[in-house]
């Protein structure tokens, strides 16, 4: 009857286990290192890179994995966390370095796969410059904010915000997400609680849910007075979010253990109390996994819509720089999409931790 703590393997055991394996350990180190050396020598010496670079990389990758696995149990426990971070961040870094080198040495066609350094330069240029032809910029040139505000007040600030690709995408994603997710949670709750409503809506919802939302974009353009404005773009994001959130909320409500509902009833909870104290918190974990999915889908949908019909937004950037064949900038825009995805997910995870404090530091039950 004590507080549970994460188990830690006892240190002496690990050392004991390493002892008898010392002899095998030498081979485990030497063989992968030798293979890496041979591979690199063959690559450079025999010019094997040109045709079989991917096979050589695969061999090196396997050897690095073998070496890392030999290394890990020998590390003192206090370095394990740092080691895991090195693996997690080191791999993408290594990938970029290999890419840089392959593109630089001409193995990869730099026109279609520009080296990461060029992409980084393009990203920097996009950040600090203003595109006169499209009358737009990546972030809306925030360094101009004070002077524009002094010159023409809030109208100036709005003009800067309007020229920004990132703000265009972000406002569509966030606006559509909120407009879709809030009713999604409400409808999902009703569907979870009321059998009749569930039976009536479930099939229809499932059918609409699997429909690619970009396919209904033309209809939405007809529905709104300004087909080229923000309305249809936000609406298509909202619709995508709505069905995902509604369906997962319904599942969350239905998945609540019956014993919690009975406990609520036995202790005299009325309908409102039942909802507030039992149903809402009980469904919340599944609701949040629905929200996470919906956020990712919202980003996918908005990039697709911006390909088709927009003069602002990161999706527009990707498509535009592909059309004009400025590939480093196209990749820079792709990197921006990834950064947006990571940032939005982190934001949602922050909200999730705040909303469900009972899941922090727990072992995952309930």
Partner 1 sequence: MSAKIVARAAEKRFQTRQGWMTALHDFDLEVAEGEFLCLVGPSGCGKSTFLRILAGLDHATGGEVRITPGPDPKQPLANVVFQEYAVFPWKTVLANVAFGLEMRGLSRAAREATARRWVDKVALTRFVDYYPAQLSGGMKQRVSIARALANDPQVLLMDEPLGALDAQTRAVLQEELLQLWEESRKTVLYVTHSIDEAVFLGDRVVVMTAHPGTLKTVIEVDLPRPRDLGVMATPAFAALTGAVWEALRDEVRRAMAEQA
How many residues touch partner 1 under the rule CB under 8 A: the total is 32
Give the one residue of 11, 85, 111, 265 binding partner 1; rule: CB under 8 A: 265
Spatial CA neighbour of 174 closest among 344, 59, 333, 14: 344
Told to check if 364 binds partner 1 by CB under 8 A, we report yes
296, 341 Cβ separation under 8 angstroms: yes
- Ramachandran angles phi, psi of 360, nearest 5°: -80, 130
For residue 285, the minimal CB distance to partner 1 (Å) is 9
Give the one residue of 175, 281, 296, 341 binding partner 1; rule: CB under 8 A: 281
The residue range among 158-166, 171-179, 275-283, 322-330 that interacts with partner 1, by the rule CB under 8 A, is 275-283
For residue 265, the minimal CB distance to partner 1 (Å) is 6
**Distance separating alpha carbons of residues 126 and 36, to the nearest angstrom:** 39
CA 305 from chain centre, in angstroms, equals 18
Classify the C-alpha dihedral 323-325-326-332 as positive or negative: positive
Told to check if 181 binds partner 1 by CB under 8 A, we report no
Q: What is the maximal distance between C-alpha atoms in the chain?
A: 81
For residue 259, the minimal CB distance to partner 1 (Å) is 4
Tell me the chain's radius of gyration from C-alpha atoms: 27
Location of structure tokens 């909802």 = 275
Residues across the chain: 366
Tokens of 175: 């606006």
For residue 275, the minimal CB distance to partner 1 (Å) is 13
**Distance separating alpha carbons of residues 102 and 157, to the nearest angstrom:** 44
For residue 163, the minimal CB distance to partner 1 (Å) is 45
Give the one residue of 263, 324, 325, 338 binding partner 1; rule: CB under 8 A: 263
Told to check if 6 binds partner 1 by CB under 8 A, we report no
The residue range among 109-117, 124-132, 186-194, 258-266 that interacts with partner 1, by the rule CB under 8 A, is 258-266
Q: How many C-beta neighbours within 10 Å does residue 241 have? A: 29
Pick 176 or 264: Cβ nearer partner 1: 264
Told to check if 3 binds partner 1 by CB under 8 A, we report yes
Told to check if 365 binds partner 1 by CB under 8 A, we report yes
Classify the C-alpha dihedral 222-224-230-232 as positive or negative: negative
The residue range among 85-93, 218-226, 262-270, 302-310 that interacts with partner 1, by the rule CB under 8 A, is 262-270
DSSP state of 106: T
Where on the chain is the footprint of partner 1 (CB under 8 A)?
Answer: 1-4, 257, 259-260, 262-270, 273, 277-278, 281-282, 284, 356-359, 361-366
């Amino acid at each position: 009857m004590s507080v549970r703590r994460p188990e830690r393997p006892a240190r002496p055991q690990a050392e004991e286990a390493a002892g008898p394996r010392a002899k095998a350990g030498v081979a485990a180190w030497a063989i992968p290192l030798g293979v890496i050396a041979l591979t690199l020598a063959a690559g450079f010496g025999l010019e094997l890179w040109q045709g079989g670079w991917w096979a050589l990389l695969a061999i090196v990758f396997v050897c690095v994995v073998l070496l890392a696995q030999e290394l890990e149990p020998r590390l003192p426990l206090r370095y394990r966390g740092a080691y895991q971070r090195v693996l997690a961040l080191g791999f993408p870094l290594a990938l970029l370095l290999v890419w840089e080198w392959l593109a630089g040495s001409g193995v990869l066609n730099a026109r279609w796969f520009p080296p990461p350094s060029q992409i980084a330069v393009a990203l920097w240029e996009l950040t600090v410059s203003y595109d006169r032809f499209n009358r737009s910029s990546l972030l809306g040139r925030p360094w101009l904010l004070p002077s524009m505000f002094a010159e023409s007040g809030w109208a100036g600030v709005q003009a800067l915000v309007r020229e920004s690709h990132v703000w265009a995408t972000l406002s569509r994603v966030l606006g559509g997400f909120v407009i879709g997710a809030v009713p999604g949670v409400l409808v999902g709750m009703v569907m979870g609680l009321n059998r009749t409503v569930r039976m009536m809506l479930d099939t229809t919802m499932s059918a609409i849910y699997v429909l690619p939302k970009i396919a209904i974009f033309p209809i939405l353009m007809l529905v709104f007075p300004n087909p080229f404005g923000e309305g249809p773009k936000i609406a298509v994001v909202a619709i995508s979010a709505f069905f995902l959130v509604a369906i997962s909320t319904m599942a969350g409500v239905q998945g609540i253990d019956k014993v919690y509902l009975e406990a609520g009833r036995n202790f005299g909870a009325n309908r409102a109390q039942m909802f507030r104290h039992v149903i809402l918190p009980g469904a919340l974990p599944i609701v949040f996994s629905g929200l996470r999915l919906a956020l990712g889908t919202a980003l996918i949908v908005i990039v697709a819509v911006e390909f088709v019909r927009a003069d602002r937004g990161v999706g527009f950037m990707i498509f535009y720089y592909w059309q004009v064949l400025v590939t480093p900038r196209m990749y820079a825009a792709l990197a921006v999409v990834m950064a947006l995805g990571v940032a939005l997910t982190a934001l949602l995870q922050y909200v999730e931790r705040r909303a469900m404090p009972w899941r922090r530091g727990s072992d995952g039950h309930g």
